[in-house]
DNA sequence: CTGAAAGCGCTAACAT
DNA sequence: ATGTTAGCGCTTTCAG
């Protein structure tokens, strides 16, 4: 089998304790011992067994993240950011995909917890139904909610964006470009994000004096955007602008309208949410509400670190700002 | 701290061994003991410490995957597939991002190996320079190369697609639509995939009697496709078709041409590679060479499983077939 | 500075 | 069927 510390110690002619100190650089060790042990370790191709080390130390340098769907470019980028920044701290990332389902989410969270990861970043599948698991796990170990949160989470940490303001930015943007009738095409209204965006839309419409058509709500999928476009075209009149719940839906709308020969932004304007690469790729490019993904990861990691260091740390909620990035999908002469 | 098996055993009034058997369902245990132990475990909120279990058993149910960049939709989807299928086998996925850099790749592979993961899926950063580390790790534990491979890897397992045939499918497709001059815009020619596609292009051009312009090679990035389009436009004449190294580059080309007022497929046809969601999102939709991602994951997992079960298992190479998926980017009347 | 020994939590012989 | 015991590989008192 693999070579263990014992083998190295034997080969170096020292005790296993000395070998450990020599390699770990923690306790005292003579230069001579260090040299001999290092030499033996090299020669034998020794590598610490992280499991043994972790068992002894209570936990290893692994943190987990549970996202609803890695293949959604937004979460892919987010995971990328986390992996990146965590690696600079010497931490590894265990990733789990909940598919936005409670069962899978529960199972994954339990698995991570039982592995004694140092902490967990979670994007809850549901606003209400995920609450018990998330709360339960958070009692056992450091946990930071990212992007989405659960209800009754005043004791939990959370990092996300100001969705209400984000939707408002989109609404004002299309309003300034002449829109009077608008519609919201969003998703997952049983998630905090879905609810927040949908409500912000309703409130914003009211405040800005716009007219809202009946919203269409389903899932964060390109295919949904596609079918939503068809649905909108079946209605008596197209709105001036469609505010989509995320970039995936927005690009689906774009493709759907194109497929039916409608022009964006000519016949209808479209805005997205997230600021993923998708917004650059589509044609016209997508006006979207950009989330500061690197910053989200940074703040979330800082929060988790604080919780790890101070078990008493009480959860804090952080809302970061979004920025509207104008693209071709709303390119009209602004009103003055 | 957390409640351990010992606590449960005590509470249930049995020995720790009985408790283990009662919970694990492995050895013999009386119905009465099982009931008592379960009850105690529930009451105390016991959860196995996966670390202790893993140390004892030599490894835990974790496998690792190292990809060059999770935020590339192709790898995001691949990771998604792996996570999905592995979870059905009760395995967890530890993910690492090499950024396509040798240093990071080496570090991540070592870390995974030292954690005694059951096995590793790796997309090597380089065809040549990654060879030593991949080979070394593969000697220590089950490893399957995915998508890309290293040189001198006859002893290593590999699962990927027939890139040569894939590029050929694209070439024949544009040839059938009237293309005579073509150009390859690819990337990472120090990876197996980059080389294979580039060579297949050169060979295919020859065989089909087409005329190739000087290729442009850089990285698998949208931004590169964008600048490559500009570069092509600066040349004396635009080719009839551009064969891109992947979807990211292809969509960059599409955006680049659009930005300069050129029509695709009118002025120039474009094909991609991978079959990611990007090909649906762009406008026109992208004709692309689809990789069977689910199948790739399936075969790779089967190979890893075989290696885990049989340490002597000698590496096998599997090349899966690609399928050309026609999109708007090459929509012309086929010649007859 | 070094070695002996304990123990992290768990499972698997082995003995009863 | 159950309990005792021996480690998995490592770090860390505690003596010396």
The per-residue pLDDT for range A154-207, each reduced to its tens digit, is 889 999 999 999 999 999 999 999 999 999 999 999 999 999 999 999 999 999
Q: Which nucleotides of C are covered by protein (CB under 7 A)?
A: 1-5, 7-14
Six-digit token string for B302: 């089967």
Is A25 near strand C, with its CB below 7 A from some atom of it? no
Six-digit token string for B33: 């003991």
Probe site for chain A from B3, B115, B286 (most A CB atoms < 10 A):
B115
Is A209 near strand C, with its CB below 7 A from some atom of it? no
Which of the four pLDDT bands, split at 50, 70 and 90, describes residue A1? low
Nucleotide nearest to B46 (CA to C1'): C9
Nucleotide nearest to B29 (CA to C1'): D1
Q: Which nucleotides of D are covered by protein (CB under 7 A)?
A: 1-5, 7-13
Q: According to the model, what pLDDT value does residue B100 have? A: 94
Six-digit token string for A117: 């990861």
Written as one string, the DSSP assignment of B192-246 is HHHHHHHHHHHHHHHHHT-EEPPPEEE-S-HHHHHHHHHHHHHSSS--SEEEESS
Is A17 near strand C, with its CB below 7 A from some atom of it? yes
Probe site for chain A from B281, B282, B293 (most A CB atoms < 10 A):
B281
Residue B231 and residue B233: Cα distance in Å, rounded? 5
CA atoms within 13 A on the CB side of B317: 13
Query: Which residues is B290 bridged to in the sheet?
Result: B274, B323
Which of the four pLDDT bands, split at 50, 70 and 90, describes residue A285? very high
Contact (Cβ atoms closer than 8 angstroms) between residue A284 and residue A327:
yes
Is B18 near strand C, with its CB below 7 A from some atom of it? no
Q: Write down the pTM of the prediction.
A: 0.93
- Which residues in chain A are contacts of B255 at CB distance < 8 A? 280-281, 283, 285
Q: How far is CA A89 from CA A84, A302, A303, B101, B329, in A?
A: 9, 11, 14, 18, 44
DSSP state of B136: H
Query: Which residues is A152 bridged to in the sheet?
Result: none
Contact (Cβ atoms closer than 8 angstroms) between residue B222 and residue B255:
yes
Ordered strands of the B92-97 beta sheet: A317-320, A157-161, A143-146, A119-122, A62-67, A92-97, B92-97, B62-67, B119-122, B143-146, B157-161, B317-320
Per residue in A5-54, pLDDT (tens digit) is: 999 999 999 999 999 999 988 888 999 999 999 999 999 999 999 999 99
Q: Report which residue is nearest nucleotide C6 when distances run from CA to C1'.
A: A56
Q: Which residues of A275-299 are buried (b: 16+ CB within 10 A; e: fewer)?
A: bbbbbbbbbbbbbbbbbbbeebbbb
Q: According to the model, what pLDDT value does residue A153 have? A: 82
Tens digit of pLDDT per residue, chain B (336 long)?
Answer: 689 999 999 999 999 999 999 998 888 889 999 999 999 999 998 989 999 999 998 888 899 999 999 999 999 999 999 999 999 998 988 888 999 999 999 999 998 999 889 999 999 999 999 999 999 999 989 999 999 999 988 889 999 999 999 999 999 999 999 999 999 999 999 999 999 999 999 999 999 999 999 999 999 999 999 999 999 999 999 999 999 999 999 999 999 999 999 999 999 999 999 999 999 999 999 999 999 999 999 999 999 999 988 877 777 999 999 999 999 999 987 766
Q: According to the model, what pLDDT value does residue B336 have? A: 65
Length of chain A in residues, anyone? Answer: 336
Q: How far is CA B105 from CA A273, B133, B141, in A?
A: 33, 9, 16
Contact (Cβ atoms closer than 8 angstroms) between residue B297 and residue B78:
yes
Is A30 near strand D, with its CB below 7 A from some atom of it? no
Q: How far is CA A125 from CA A69, A81, B99, B254, in A?
A: 10, 20, 29, 35
Is A332 near strand D, with its CB below 7 A from some atom of it? no
DSSP 3-state of B95? strand
Q: According to the model, what pLDDT value does residue B335 have? A: 67
- Which residues in chain A are contacts of B70 at CB distance < 8 A? 70, 76, 79-80, 83
Question: What is the C-alpha end-to-end distance of chain A, expressed in Å?
Answer: 76
Query: Which residues is B280 bridged to in the sheet?
Result: none
Three-class secondary structure assignment of chain A: CCCCHHHHHHHHCCCHHHHHHHHHCCCCCCHHHHHHHHHHHHHHCCCCCHHHHHHHHCCCCEEEEEECCCCCHHHHHHHHHHHHHHHHCCCEEEEEECCCCHHHHHHHHHHHHHCCCCEEEECCCCCCCCHHHHHHHHHHCCEEEECCCCCCCCCCEEEEECHHHHHHHHHHHHHHCCCCEEEEEEECCCCHHHHHHHHHHHHHHHHHCCEECCCEEECCCHHHHHHHHHHHHHCCCCCCEEEECCHHHHHHHHHHHHHCCCCCCCCCEEEEEECCCHHHHCCCCCEEEECCHHHHHHHHHHHHHHHHHCCCCCCCEEEECCEEECCHHHCCCCCC
| Closest-CA residue of chain B to A3 | B140
Alpha-helix residue ranges (DSSP H) falling in chain B = 5-12, 16-24, 31-44, 50-57, 73-88, 102-114, 131-140, 163-176, 192-208, 222-234, 247-259, 278-281, 293-309
Q: According to the model, what pLDDT value does residue B315 have? A: 79
Q: According to the model, what pLDDT value does residue A275 have? A: 98
Which of the four pLDDT bands, split at 50, 70 and 90, describes residue A95? confident
C-alpha radius of gyration, chain A, whole number: 25
Which of the four pLDDT bands, split at 50, 70 and 90, describes residue A336? low
Contacts of B182 (CB under 8 A, 6+ apart): B171, B174, B201, B205, B210, B211, B212, B213, B239, B240, B241, B242, B243
Residue A34: closest CA among A44, A24, A48, A49: A24
| Closest-CA residue of chain B to A105 | B87
Residue B318 and residue B296: Cα distance in Å, rounded? 9
Average pLDDT of chain A, as a whole number: 94
Residue A158 and residue B330: Cα distance in Å, rounded? 47
| Closest-CA residue of chain B to A283 | B283
User: How far A121 CA lies from chain B's nearest CA (Å)?
Assistant: 14
Contacts of A22 (CB under 8 A, 6+ apart): A12, A14, A29, A33, A34, A36, A37, A38
Six-digit token string for A205: 């419409």
B66: enclosing H helix or E strand: strand B62-67
Does residue A138 carry a pLDDT above 70?
A: yes
Q: How far is CA A111 from CA A120, B50, B84, B92, B311, in A?
A: 11, 8, 15, 9, 27
| Closest-CA residue of chain B to A57 | B51
Residue B42 and residue B53: Cα distance in Å, rounded? 19
Nucleotide nearest to B1 (CA to C1'): C8
Six-digit token string for A66: 């549970």
Contacts of A27 (CB under 8 A, 6+ apart): A20, A21
CB pairs under 8 A between A and B: 148
Contact (Cβ atoms closer than 8 angstroms) between residue A70 and residue B83:
yes
DSSP 3-state of B2? coil
Is B26 near strand C, with its CB below 7 A from some atom of it? yes
Q: According to the model, what pLDDT value does residue B61 have? A: 87
Q: Report which residue is nearest nucleotide C2 when distances run from CA to C1'.
A: A18
Per residue in B50-106, pLDDT (tens digit) is: 999 999 988 888 999 999 999 999 999 999 999 999 999 989 888 889 999 999 999
Nucleotide nearest to A19 (CA to C1'): C2
Peptide bond connecting A284 to the previous residue in cis, omega within 30 degrees of 0: yes
Contact (Cβ atoms closer than 8 angstroms) between residue A26 and residue A71:
no
Is B30 near strand D, with its CB below 7 A from some atom of it? yes
Give me the residue label for tokens 């809302």. Answer: A319
Q: Report which residue is nearest nucleotide C5 when distances run from CA to C1'.
A: A17
Question: What is the C-alpha end-to-end distance of chain B, expressed in Å?
Answer: 76
Six-digit token string for A28: 């005292």
Q: According to the model, what pLDDT value does residue A215 have? A: 97
């Amino acid at each position: 089998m693999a070579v263990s510390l014992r083998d190295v110690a034997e080969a170096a002619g020292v005790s296993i304790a000395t070998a450990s100190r020599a390699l770990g650089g923690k306790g005292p060790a003579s230069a001579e011992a260090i040299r001999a042990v290092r030499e033996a370790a090299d020669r034998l191709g020794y590598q610490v067994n992280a499991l043994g080390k972790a068992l002894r130390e209570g936990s290893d340098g692994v943190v987990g993240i549970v996202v609803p769907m890695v293949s959604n470019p937004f979460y892919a980028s987010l995971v990328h950011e986390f992996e990146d920044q965590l690696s600079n701290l010497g931490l590894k990332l265990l990733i789990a995909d909940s598919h936005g389902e409670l069962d899978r989410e529960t199972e994954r969270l339990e698995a991570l917890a039982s592995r004694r990861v140092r902490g967990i970043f979670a994007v809850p599948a549901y606003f209400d139904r995920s609450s018990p698991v998330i709360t339960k796990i958070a009692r056992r170990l450091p946990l930071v909610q990212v992007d989405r949160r659960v209800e009754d989470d005043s004791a939990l940490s959370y990092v996300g964006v100001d969705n209400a303001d984000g939707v408002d930015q989109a609404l004002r943007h299309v309003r300034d470009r002449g829109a009077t009738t608008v519609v919201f095409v969003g998703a997952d209204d049983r998630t905090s994000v879905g609810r927040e965006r949908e409500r912000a839309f309703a409130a914003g419409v009211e405040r800005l004096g716009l007219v809202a058509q009946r919203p269409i709500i389903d899932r964060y999928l390109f295919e949904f955007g596609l079918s939503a476009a068809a649905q909108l075209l079946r209605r008596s009149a197209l709105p001036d602008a469609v505010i989509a719940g995320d970039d995936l839906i927005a690009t689906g709308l774009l493709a759907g309208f194109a497929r039916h020969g409608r022009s964006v932004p000519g016949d209808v304007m479209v805005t997205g949410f997230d600021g993923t690469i998708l917004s650059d790729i589509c044609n016209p490019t997508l006006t979207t509400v950009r989330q500061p993904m690197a910053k989200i990861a940074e703040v979330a990691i800082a929060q988790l670190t604080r919780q790890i260091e101070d078990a008493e740390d009480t959860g804090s909620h952080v809302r970061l700002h979004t920025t509207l990035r104008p693209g071709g999908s709303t390119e009209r002469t602004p009103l003055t």
